[in-house]
Amino acid sequence: MAKKAKRRGRPPGAKSPDKMDIGQLRQYIEKLQAALGKKVSEQRAYFEAKLSELTGIGAPKRRGRPPGSGTAKKKKGTRRKATPKYRSRKDPKLLWSGRGVTPVWMREEMKGTKLKKEDFLIAKA
């Protein structure tokens, strides 16, 4: 026997909101608001539980200001420039701090030779 296709849309006997009178429409709206309120409270409880896991189980709750409302001090200024650790053998003006990608001048000087990165280190006085 052939399988019956699933019906889509409203169940049989349900009225469309267009054809309801005011009393039925108010009940329909109240029912939707109750369902929405229930969903919101469930989601809120879920996310508050997750947040408490992330912030630490034994952390005391702060009252007054919401979290992230400017209670932490902001850093001002910029970082100090990194001191150079490597110097070119061909051109002593070329320096590198050792951060980031290896500079082109160092790659070219190492290419085809037995020089290594350690050979370019600046001697500490």
Q: What is the pLDDT of residues 33-66, one digit of tens each?
A: 999 999 999 999 999 988 888 877 555 555 655 6
Q: Name which of 124, 92, 88, 122 is nearest 108 in CA terms.
A: 88
- H or E element: which one contains 86? strand 86-87
Residue-range domain boundaries for the chain: 20-55, 86-120
Evaluate if residue 6 carries a pLDDT over 90: no
Contact 95, 86 (CB under 8 A): yes
Q: What is the mean pLDDT of the chain?
A: 82
User: Measured between alpha carbons, how far is 23 from 31 in angstroms, rounded to an integer?
Assistant: 12
Q: What is the pLDDT of residues 93-114, one digit of tens each?
A: 999 999 999 999 999 999 988 8
